[in-house]
Structure formats: structure tokens, C-alpha cells
Amino acid sequence: MSFTVLLLAGGQSQRMGQDKSQMYGGIPRLKDVVLRCGAHRVIVLCGAGERADFFEGETWADPSHCNGIHQVVEWALNRIDDDVLLVPCDAFLFDEKACTALLEQAQFGGVPVDANGRRQPLFSYIPHSFGLPLKIDSMRSMTEFLPTIDTKGIGQCFTNFNRSEELEEHQDELSRILW
């Protein structure tokens, strides 16, 4: 399976109070995970151009015409001739086991669910052949026609962290991260 990974690291992390792309091993840890799982290309979507120096490797700044992550992802998808796996920088519990399980089930695309059964579009596997909807106003609408992937016991790996209180709730799992 050939695929490219878009690491989503362009947010301002205001609710967290610190740059999430630098926490728990940050972008280097996530790059290592996806490369071990077979990604042949990893692109960091860094947000504002001045953030590009924060990251090593291929890094794309948001184009000025984009207003929101859905527009940035759509723009990037239109420039990549490959299947794409999305991974947010605050995927602190995302590991090789979760990545492998997602890839095995999403060969034709899909959106995994978290431990609460909620679809997590920022972890979507989007095949190159997937026809994006004509009207996209959110990541949810962009991925609504991709199948749901049952994560069977590893749903916590598809958790996004937005506030420090959420870190406290998952302290046991976070303490096991190797970085």
C-alpha cells in the first residue's frame, strides 16, 4: 500500500496553552510511527509560514486563500497523487498498533472512531480515487461519504487533545508513550 501522510500541525493551540505539535514527542514521534507503518512521504501542514522552521522535512504553509483546516486539507489533497492518511499533531496516543489497524481496515478509505464511538475525520484515510464532495464546509462534510472504521479496543488512540484537563484524564496512557 502506497500512501502519503499529512501531519496537521497548523493550529494555534490556544485552548491547550502550549504548542501541541511539540508535546509528547511531537511531530518527530508521529513521523516515526507513520514511516514504520509504510508511509513513503510525510508532509507537515504547518499553518502560518513562519511556523515552517519549527519542523524538519517537507513542510507546507497554509495558502492565504484557505480559511479553516477543511480548506487546507482539500488544497493539499488536490496536489498529492497518492492515497492520504491524515494525522493531527495532538494524536498523543496514536501509535504503530493503531496506525497499522487503521491501514488494514481502510484500504478503500475510512474514518476511525474514538473510544466514545465518534468519527474522527482528522484521522481519515482518503484514497486518491475518492471523489471529494462538491460542497465542503468542514472536515466532517469532507469525509462524510467515507466508511466508518471500527477501532475495536484501540479507540483511545484516535483521541484529540485540546485542553490540559484532557491530558489529566488520560495520564496513565500518556505516561506509557515512548519518545
**For the segment 97-138, what is each residue's pLDDT rounded down to a tens digit?**
999 999 999 989 999 999 899 999 999 999 999 999 999 999
What is the pLDDT at residue 139? 96
Helices (H) and strands (E) in the chain, counts: 6, 7
pLDDT tens sequence across 60-91: 999 999 999 999 999 999 999 999 999 998 88
- What domains sit in the chain, N to C, each tagged with a CATH number? 3-175 (3.90.550.10)
pTM: 0.90
Beta bridge partners of 126: 84
Measured CA to CA in angstroms, residue 139 lies from 36, 77, 97, 134, 154 at distances of 26, 13, 25, 13, 22
What is the pLDDT at residue 159? 83
Mean pLDDT of 144-158: 92
